[in-house]
Structure 1
Amino acid sequence: MDLPKPLIGVLDEPGPYRDALADTIARDGLAVFAAERLEDLPVETSLVVAHAQAIPSLAWSSLTERLPTVVVSDSRLDADLLTAVDVGLVDYVVEPMRHGQLLRRMIRKAIEMHRLEDERNRDRERLAQLNVHLEELNESLETHLALLRLDQQAGGQIQRKLLPPHPQTANGVTCDYWLIPSLYLSGDFLDFQRLDERYTLFYFADVSGHGASSAFVTVLLKYLFNRWLQEWRGSQVEAMPSRWLASLNRELLDTDIGKHATLFVGIIDHKTRELHYSLGAQLPKPLLVTGNEVVELPGEGMPVGLFPDVEYPRLKYGLPSNFRLWLCSDGILECLPGETLDMRLRELEQRVLTCTTLERLRDSLMLTTTPDIDAEGGSGGQELPDDLTIMMLSGFGNDHE
């Protein structure tokens, strides 16, 4: 489809000169409308070709504000031409009938420049509108982020309420821990409960990922753990950890939330001083320190909530009179030196061997500036790439500084 021809208005007194000027302009297919006054031109006029003597001196500014204008004159010394130039008109042609091709080129160039200027003005208007819209969106986003932050902080407070008090001692075994989320909520969780005079139960969980979705799973773990304890009648202590992991595995698969966890569940028999336990892909493995020796608790197990119909091992380990049992989430590996996983695990073994308290291990990781999740306000120190939790059980005769 052909574009409509731009309409060129010619302003001059009626007569042969104006007619010749109009014919000169129209030779390249331009549409021309000749008039004596600006008010007589059609509204669709794209450009005005005005004779220098046809426009009063004071009218040039109003003309150029309305339409792009090319001035023609019979002499460079024409006083009216000089007046037009003084007000800013730089597009002019002297003796236009002799320079018709130049005149037509100037007309097309002026029309194109005016079109480009209009596009720039429209772009500036659109940009200004877009900036206003972006400011509104940014303000709305800041509001939503603030609400989300408040929700996360409230969730962190709820999660802290679900954790056991620490440090606490039950039947000669002391439990202490240090848990810091990567932001406000943690995918790590633990519990330590005295069942009766003989048994103490604890577990240590690291849910895949971190943040709100993983934290919700820790709340589910707490609920399922307490429900399962109410159903348990105290028989077959050695089977309880593995049975609970199997039950939890089914529950997580049934929820279909796409989350799994690594877990360690243990029951301490204070009468026989034995640890009955089961584990599900716990990494790093629990480390038992006795005297000048550190050993990994033996055993293997599948992650919880990942595969159906998994059986978890029933394991037992004799506890010496003095011991420290360390459990760490995999976030600690990010804080240890070493190019390989094995090097970092060996480094962790050396540190738990030399650190007799939780504070000393924390200090050795250079994380003393980061408050734990149990502190008011949650994590507010350095940002961590992953949730980090350390749990230490010590007994039966260990002295604590």
Structure 2
Amino acid sequence: MDSPKQLIGVIDEPGPARNALAETIARDGLAVIAVDTPEALPAEVSLVVAHVRAVPGAQWAALCERLPTLVVSDSRAESGLLEAVDAGLVDYIVEPLRHGQLLRRMIRKVIKLRQLEEARRQDQERLEELNESLETHLAMLRLDQQAGGQIQRKLLPAKPQTVAGVTCDYWFAPWLYLSGDFLDFQRLDERHLLFYFADVSGHGASSAFVTVLLKYLTNRWQSEWDGTAPEALPPRWLADLNRELLDTGIGKHATLFVGVIDLERRYLHYSLGAQLPMPLLVADGEVTPLAGQGMPVGLFPGAEYPSLGCFLPENFRLWLCSDGVLECLPGDTLDMRLRELERRVLASETLEDLRASLALGQLASGDEAGSDAGIEALPDDLTIMLLSGFGNVDS
């Protein structure tokens, strides 16, 4: 059933012919109003059926632009028909009284097309409003992410810095604004240095929140340490963090390496949870992956982590990389990429050397204020940490 608002306007000279045309159109319940001229059409008219003789040739264009228009004529030979066709009418029909059913079908088709066009226009307006709202929300989200990234970078240690002859430097490049990678380097007491390297699953805000939790827990655990049994710190901290992540229920896990350097013994106490790639120790022209293995942190209740250790040579370089580095290396298999990383680490004296060999030299570090480093340039968060010593001069 047609809406009562769909009013059909008939334009024709007054007389029996116009009345007959209006009656023909109205037979199927269509609402019709008959007028003499286009100017007399009321505003609520949805479609016009105009006789070619009733509209001057110069007025067809304005009428067709104003309303969908069907033209009727008594003969194909009427002089004004071509002008109406050229003006852009919807269609025309000759001898409409003989073809009343066809005329009504044409009218209903035009009404239906007009309704569809109006619906499309309304949908387009709604879509534009939604797009505008989406752009506004995306802009707000981008600002929030950028602010969060600034806060996250503030939690990172100063770089480079040297403490008791051991230098820490790093390169931190989030995939977007916030990163699931995190690290720290600080002095525990006069004899011990603490550092850790974390790679939280995923990237973005939820992963970054875990790094903030890690920073908070580390500070708490450090304040609670009584200065004894440094070898027990790394595995205990990993077990505690595993329990904390499971208790939060956020579905995030992490790979971690936690190390405590005994400056007097020049010994590294460490523990790890599924670290990949393994830290690489370079000394005397050789590169050696640190030994050990452990379960991811935040996946398995009651997980225990190993207490491991090794002596550090006089001049050492210890490299730690998040798994994003594997995306920057050639090789068809994981083993091939790990071997390639060892080769490039061995050939690199500085952080800049390794970045250059990985073709990362043109990317700004994500820890630089206001930087959008990594956006659409890296397939994942990427962080590289380098510890070297013992003969460095303190900052």
Q: Same fold (TM over 0.5)?
A: yes
| Secondary structure at 2:372 match in 1 | coil
Query: What CA distance in whole angstroms lies between the structure 1 residues aligned with 2:392 and 2:54?
Result: 107
Residues 18 and 192 (structure 1), Cα distance of their counterparts in 2 relative to 1, 3 Å cut: closer
Q: Does 1:117 align with 2:119?
A: no
Answer whether contact 1:68 1:110 (CA < 8 A) is retained: no
Matching residue within 191, 198, 203 for 1:198:
191
Instruction: Give the superposition deviation at 1:67.
Output: 7.6
Does 1:176 find its partner at 2:173? no
Q: In 2 relative to 1, CA 392–69 (structure 1 residues): closer, same or farther, beyond 3 Å?
A: closer
- One-letter amino acid matched to 1:108: Q
1:139 to 1:85, Cα distance in 2 relative to 1, 3 A: closer
After TM superposition, the structure 1 = structure 2 runs for residues 1-400 of structure 1, keeping only pairs within 5 Å, are 68=70, 70-72=72-74, 82=78, 85=81, 88=84, 90-93=92-95, 103-104=98-99, 107-380=100-373, 383-397=377-391
Which amino acid counterpart does residue 316 of structure 1 have in structure 2?
Answer: G
What is the rounded CA distance, in whole Å, between the counterparts of 1:296 and 1:302 in structure 2? 18
1:222 Cα deviation from its structure 2 partner: 0.1
Amino acid at match of 1:91: I
Tell me by how many angstroms 1:142 deviates: 1.3
Superposition deviation, residue 372 in structure 1: 1.4
Shift of 1:165: 0.5
C-alpha spacing 1:108/1:238, structure 2 compared with 1 (3 Å): same
Q: 2:55 & 2:144 partners in 1: Cα distance? A: 70
Q: 1:171 to 1:111 in 2, by over 3 A?
A: same
Query: Over aligned residues, Cα RMSD in angstroms?
Result: 3.9
Distance (whole Å) between structure 2 residues aligned to residue 57 and residue 47 of structure 1: 12
Q: Deviations over 1:74-105 (max 9, x none)?
A: xx8xxxx7356466385223xx9xxx9xx33x
Residues 127-173 of structure 1: CA distance to partner in whole angstroms, max 9, x if unpaired?
A: 22222222222221111111111111111111111001111111111
1:309 Cα offset (Å): 0.4
Equivalent-residue separation in structure 2 for 1:331 and 1:18 (angstroms):
80
Shift of 1:377: 1.0
CA distance in 1, matches of 2:197, 2:207: 14
Distance (whole Å) between structure 2 residues aligned to residue 18 and residue 233 of structure 1: 105
Check conservation: 2:152, 2:178, Cα contact below 8 A: yes
Change (3 A) 1:174 1:115: same
User: How far off its partner does 1:47 sit?
Assistant: 9.4
Q: Any conservation in 2 of the 1:68–1:111 contact (CA below 8 Å)?
A: no
Matches of 1:388 and 1:49, distance apart in 2: 72
Q: Secondary structure at 1:351's aligned position in 2?
A: helix
* Bigger-Rg structure (1/2): 1
Letter in 2 for 1:293: E
Report the Cα distance in structure 2 between the residues aligned to 1:49 and 1:31, rounded to whole angstroms. Answer: 19
Structure 1 stretches of 5 or more lacking a match? Answer: 2-6
Q: What residue number does 1:4 align with? A: none
C-alpha spacing 1:281/1:84, structure 2 compared with 1 (3 Å): same
Q: Contact (CA 8 Å) 2:165, 2:393: kept in 1 or not?
A: no
Amino acid corresponding to residue 310 of structure 1 in structure 2: A
Is this contact kept in 2: 1:323–1:398, CA < 8 A?
no
CA shift for structure 1 position 119: 2.6
Task: Judge conservation of contact 1:47–1:111 (CA < 8 Å) in 2.
Answer: no
